[in-house]
Amino acid sequence: MTAPDPNKNHGFGIDVGGSGVKGGIVDLDTGQLVGERFKLPTPQPATPEAVAKTIADVVAHFGWTGPLGVTYPGVVTDGVVRTAANVDKSWIGTNASEVYSNALGGQAVTVLNDADAAGLAEERFGAGRDNSGVIVLLTFGTGIGSAVIHNGLLLPNTEFGHIEVDGKEAEHRAASSVKERKAWTYERWTKEVTKVLVAVENAIWPELIIVGGGISRKADKWVPLLTNRTPVVAAALQNTAGIVGAAMAAHGDGTEHASA
């Protein structure tokens, strides 16, 4: 356990995933975790109240008392959940920020989209750190998440996983869960990913596309097979990006103009 140091520029982030609720103290100057990452299993069923309780347990593990950021795998505006593509629909309309804050005795909680959090962290500290201009991060997992960052500022709640590409929703075409379900080779799956990337780059013309999600650990097997025009690089922060980005958002880093 690492006690927070009030003299340092530290924040706290929690990444809520399908299998784990992971948290850590973040050095906001370097994007590094201060001490270890702590993970508890995602409660089943993952209702807002059950997740709030698990979040409180993760926070208590570190003895953290300041503001914190928490990710959610869907659209979040002003702390309120708007969509639930791959989680229970009962989340829609929930003021997650309030539910989490109540479970933490009133601590301020910023809730933001999971890919937005990863994008903030990758742009500042990871694969996008040497680039300026428009950067798009796409995460490939159960669904496809997206983040758009322009000169360090996040445009929240882009949902490129749900754009229609050749008559099919992007995440139904090219999420890594589709590869698994259909037992596709990387060659086969990458054809679908290319179609999605082409649709995104034609709509927004980013300078760089960062690909994240578990399958980006094997990026050498498939990124070279992509044939879209924008340079594509693998995420660099891997399993800490969500935590780091959530902590950044809680401090307004990269989200000063956003409502999330």
Instruction: Point out which residues bind ligand BGC (CB under 6 A).
Output: 73-75, 83, 85-86, 113-115, 139, 141, 143, 145, 159, 161-162, 171
- Angle between helical axes of 241-250 and 114-125 (0-180°, round to 10): 90
Q: Which helix (H) or strand (E) holds 148?
A: strand 144-150
The residue (of 86 and 102) whose beta carbon lies closer to ligand BGC is 86
Coil vs helix vs strand at 109: strand
Question: Who contacts 19 (Cβ-Cβ below 8 Å, separation ≥6)?
Answer: 41, 42
Cα–Cα distance measured from residue 172 to residue 143, given in angstroms and rounded to the nearest whole number: 8
CB of 223 to ligand BGC, least distance (A): 19
CB of 139 to ligand BGC, least distance (A): 6
The residue (of 54 and 157) whose beta carbon lies closer to ligand BGC is 157
The residue (of 59 and 144) whose beta carbon lies closer to ligand BGC is 144
CB of 60 to ligand BGC, least distance (A): 26
Length of the chain: 260
CB of 160 to ligand BGC, least distance (A): 9
CB of 118 to ligand BGC, least distance (A): 9
Q: Which helix (H) or strand (E) holds 115?
A: helix 114-125
The residue (of 16 and 247) whose beta carbon lies closer to ligand BGC is 16
Cα–Cα distance measured from residue 247 to residue 190, given in angstroms and rounded to the nearest whole number: 32
Residue closest to ligand BGC (Cβ): 145
Q: DSSP letter string over 42-108?
A: PPSS--HHHHHHHHHHHHHHHT--S-EEEEESS-EETTEE---SSS-GGGTT-BHHHHHHHHTTT--
The residue (of 54 and 62) whose beta carbon lies closer to ligand BGC is 54
The residue (of 157 and 190) whose beta carbon lies closer to ligand BGC is 157
Q: DSSP letter string over 182-223?
A: HT--HHHHHHHHHHHHHHHHHHH--SEEEEESGGGGGHHHHG
CB of 257 to ligand BGC, least distance (A): 20
Terminal alpha carbon distance of the chain: 30
CB of 187 to ligand BGC, least distance (A): 24
The residue (of 75 and 249) whose beta carbon lies closer to ligand BGC is 75
